[in-house]
Amino acid sequence: MSSSNIYTIISDNEKDMGILDGLKKRFIDQKFCYVDKAADLYYSWIGKHDTLVKEEKNKIVADALDYMHLVTKNLKKDKKAAFISLWCGNGNPEKKTIVNLLEQWYDISYFGIDYSREMLDLAVQNYQNISCKKHFICADVWSQEFQSTILSLTDDYDIRIYAFLGFTFIALDQSYFIDSMYSLMKKWDFFLFDILIRKDDTKKTLISFFERYNNYLKNDDFVKFHEMPILYAWMDPQSWSFGFDYFQEKGTWAYIYRCFFQFNQKIIITFKGQRIIFLPWEKITMIHRRNYNREQFEYFIAEHEFRYVDHIDHKVQDYVTNSCYLYAK
Ligand SMILES: C[S@@+](CC[C@H](N)C(=O)[O-])C[C@H]1O[C@@H](n2cnc3c(N)ncnc32)[C@H](O)[C@@H]1O
């Protein structure tokens, strides 16, 4: 499938500089994991190895009609609406919703936004038979360029619905997210996102989460997927081991499970002309995955002056619920 209808506002150089910066800071942004072959690897990992994740993802797709109810209950058919999927990947979690909204004659256009060009190629393919106005934009959604682009592209729409679906919210710092969303939205625009809510704060629940992530580590594709940016910087695979730790975040009481590469020897690399030295036992941290306490999370969003509209719960396991929220500015 040609990717000619993808509008790009990032450069290759930006990716290299981002990885370089991450190596020096010992923290690599998760957006660098999904480029090149990693797009397919991500979906093959989600699709085959981990039945837990697979069941959850399938359930979310199956329950996409529920997302739709959240939207239809609150959207009038005579409003011209832009459905903007941030970090869209292949666009699957919202696909059924888009199809159903169109079948019911909602006036909706689709905007898929992702940092990874390869992910957007999957989205273009996935949406090829959906007939509505479609725009695919390769961008860092937090960049100034993206913010001005999306606001000007959607200026003549009555409402923007920003969607952040497929457990993506749990990988980011929610303060950064919520403040950035505020600038992207106009009064009464919506945002729709799903998060993981833990059942309680008992040891049993925490251990269940620990086991969940520990199981991930046993899968080669999962590790390979995280290794992408590290291998890209030409680091010797013998010089590190991969693991995770966890801690509780102040404010939201979220538990964060944080993946890292830990060195077992001193290594010296030269990347993009710059020398970097890693000492044994230094770590490069990567993707974070959070689970939330419901009350504390809702309080956090309310304090950021968003209006709660509605939410739907999908219980995926005994110890965790996937909750999809709709808020308005
Ligand atoms: C966990 S995947 C989820 C994709 C999709 N929502 C799904 O559920 O299948 C996260 C996606 O977010 C994209 N991404 C991460 N950080 C981004 C950023 N700052 N700007 C744009 N896209 C980003 C990645 O490229 C990746 O495709």
* Domain that includes residue 278, residue range: 203-291
**Pair (187, 169) in one structural domain:** yes
81 lines ligand 1 (CB under 6 A): no
pTM: 0.92
Distance 108 CA to ligand 1 centre (A): 22
pLDDT band at residue 276 using 50, 70 and 90 as cut-offs: very high
Distance 114 CA to ligand 1 centre (A): 6
- The verdict on residue 40 lying in a domain is no
Give percent of the chain with pLDDT exceeding 70.
Answer: 93
Give the dihedral sign, CA 200/203/204/206: positive
- The verdict on residue 175 lying in a domain is yes
Residue 161's pLDDT is what?
97
**Pair (306, 180) in one structural domain:** yes
Closest CA to 19 of 211, 321, 298, 232: 232
**Pair (103, 238) in one structural domain:** no
pLDDT band at residue 325 using 50, 70 and 90 as cut-offs: very high
124 or 61, higher pLDDT:
124
**Pair (217, 88) in one structural domain:** no
Task: Say yes or no to pLDDT of 52 above 70.
Answer: no
- pLDDT digit string (tens) for 129-180? 999 999 999 999 999 999 999 999 999 999 999 999 887 888 888 999 999 9
- The verdict on residue 1 lying in a domain is no
Residue 129's pLDDT is what?
94
Rounded mean pLDDT of 262-270?
Answer: 94
- The verdict on residue 145 lying in a domain is yes
Closest CA to 67 of 137, 135, 130, 161: 161
**Pair (15, 86) in one structural domain:** yes
- The verdict on residue 35 lying in a domain is no
- The verdict on residue 42 lying in a domain is no
- If one residue of 30, 43, 87, 88 were mutated to test the ligand 1 pocket, choosing by the most ligand atoms within 8 A of its CB, it would be 87
97 lines ligand 1 (CB under 6 A): no
Q: Which H/E stretch holds residue 286?
A: strand 283-291
**Pair (280, 300) in one structural domain:** no
Look up the CATH number of the domain holding residue 182: 3.40.50.150
Contacts of residue 38, Cβ cutoff 8 Å, sequence gap at least 6: 116, 118, 225, 228
**Pair (152, 301) in one structural domain:** yes
8 A C-beta contact, residue 71 and residue 193: no
- The verdict on residue 69 lying in a domain is yes
Give the separation between CA 131 and CA 127, rounded to whole angstroms: 8
Tell me which residue has its CA closest to atom 15 in ligand 1.
31
| Mean pLDDT score across all residues of the chain | 89
What six digits make up the tokens of 178? 């919520």
- pLDDT digit string (tens) for 210-253? 998 898 888 888 888 888 888 888 778 899 999 999 999 988 89
Domain count of the fold of the chain: 2
**Pair (12, 119) in one structural domain:** yes
- H helices of the chain, in order, are 12-25, 38-44, 51-62, 64-72, 92-103, 117-126, 144-153, 174-184, 203-217, 220-232, 294-303
Cβ atoms within 10 Å of 325's Cβ, excluding its own: 21
